[in-house]
């Protein structure tokens, strides 16, 4: 499973990258053999103005199934990552059991 993490509007830290990859590997461990690629986009929509503007978009390519895309926007980037990854993990599991 190849994971790409990119940031828009702020510098991507190693801590954010490691957190994102760790959460993805845990959420997708039941489907790791079918997940081909994961692309994560992290963005600070409003920049320095603040507010609920930390966005995490996750795009997953799964063999033999349509791509899965989910996103979440929160005040804290770690919360946005956790919620988006949890959602995509549930979606992958649901699609595999159909």
Query: What tens digit of pLDDT does each residue of 23-76 get?
Result: 999 999 988 888 999 999 999 887 666 666 899 999 999 888 899 999 999 999
β-strands 35-44, 54-62: how paired?
antiparallel
pTM of model > 0.75: yes
Please give the angle made by the CA atoms of 70, 20 and 7, to the nearest 5 degrees.
75
Backbone angles phi, psi at 65, to 5 degrees: -150, 160
In this prediction, residue 45 carries a pLDDT of 82
């Amino acid at each position: 499973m190849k994971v790409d993490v990119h940031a828009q509007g702020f510098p991507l830290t190693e801590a954010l990258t490691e957190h994102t990859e760790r959460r993805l590997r845990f959420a997708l461990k039941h489907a790791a053999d079918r997940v081909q690629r994961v692309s994560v986009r992290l963005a600070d929509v409003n920049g320095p103005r603040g507010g609920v503007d930390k966005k995490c978009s996750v795009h997953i390519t799964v063999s033999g199934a349509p791509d899965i895309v989910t996103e979440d926007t929160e005040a804290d980037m770690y919360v946005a990552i956790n919620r988006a990854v949890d959602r995509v993990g549930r979606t992958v599991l649901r699609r595999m059991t159909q």
